[in-house]
Amino acid sequence: MIQSDTQAANKPSLNVLLAGPRGFCAGVDRAIKIVEEALKRYGAPVYVRHEIVHNRFVVESLERQGAIFVEELHEIPDNGQPVVFSAHGVPKAIPGEAERREMFYLDATCPLVSKVHREAEHHHARGRHILLIGHAGHPEVIGTMGQLPEGCVTLVEDEEDAQRVQPPADVPLAFITQTTLSVDDTAGIIAVLSERFPAMSAPAKEDICYATTNRQAAVKAIAPRAELMIVVGAPNSSNSVRLVEVANRAGCPKSIMVQRGRDLDLAVLDGVHTVGITAGASAPEVLVEEVLSKLRERYALATEEVVVAEERITFKLPTALSAAEA
């Protein structure tokens, strides 16, 4: 459905293709609600280890409500207040340390990331060495590798890694993946590994999450029609960075990332008649609205939403907060 601005006389027109779905996924929505419900139930402060999701707008909003973000548990005083683990997941040593200190913790790990953790444990229990497809240093990768003893998981970042990786000899193999990767890139890496190690075990169900897949599919549907793709997201958000890459590969001449409307330099729109807009899974819709408001400063917008999937998935809050949820 195409909607046109009605208060834009004398402004040049701009076609806007809005990706659907975009923005928050169920795992991000759950993680934010965990912090908010903990604040309501237990009062401030609530401590959060690492950014709850990779978006400064979200983090700063929670800080204003009383959340305190830390990188490690040793930064948290023994005052009995809750600590929340981020949506990306944590190594097993982290809840172990929290239990030793008798901390009350809430695990906001996305259930789809937890699924990958359980897969890793399943393969390890069956004596398989695991090849993890993902990006070095990303919190999700650190958390997944930290589910098992050191040396049980080998990280594979790209097809070059897949060509040269040398897992332990005479040990059965399995692969798992980070949930926020490029669908196409991952398929190429898996193809290389499968050719080299045909007996390698695969996940029963693809590890890349539904939200990542759907957002990339929407960008692919828009990219050939757009002269510029604007991705609302954060530079440390893996799924947002992937959307920029997907847009370029899918035929959009230029794609950029902005964290919010005020970061958009309208000069980049010079000569552009059709722009695509999407948002990473940790970017709230209010930031997309900011970008649209910024565009309206110069243009009369004709907006079309391009929907490739409907998302109705929700995840329950932890049992400790279930009464607060009700």
The question of whether 245 is a catalytic residue gets the answer no
231, β-bridge pairs:
257, 278
DSSP string, 123-188: HHHTT-EEEEES-TT-HHHHHHHTTS-TTSEEEE-SHHHHHH--PPTT--EEEEE-TTS-HHHHHH
Quick check: 34 and 108 in contact, CB under 8 A? yes
The Cα 35–Cα 16 span in angstroms is 34
Quick check: 155 and 132 in contact, CB under 8 A? yes
What DSSP state is assigned to residue 23? S
Quick check: 214 and 220 in contact, CB under 8 A? no
Long-range pairs of 122-128 with CB within 8 A, sequence gap ≥ 24: 123/174, 123/176, 123/201, 124/148, 124/152, 126/172, 127/171, 127/172, 128/171, 128/172, 128/173, 128/174, 128/201
Enumerate residues 6+ apart whose C-beta is below 8 A from 124. Answer: 130, 148, 152
The residue from 37, 119, 140, 290 that is catalytic is: 140
Enumerate residues 6+ apart whose C-beta is below 8 A from 163. Answer: 192, 196
The Cα 35–Cα 44 span in angstroms is 10
The CA-to-CA distance between both ends of the chain, in Å, stands at: 36
**Residues that are catalytic:** 140
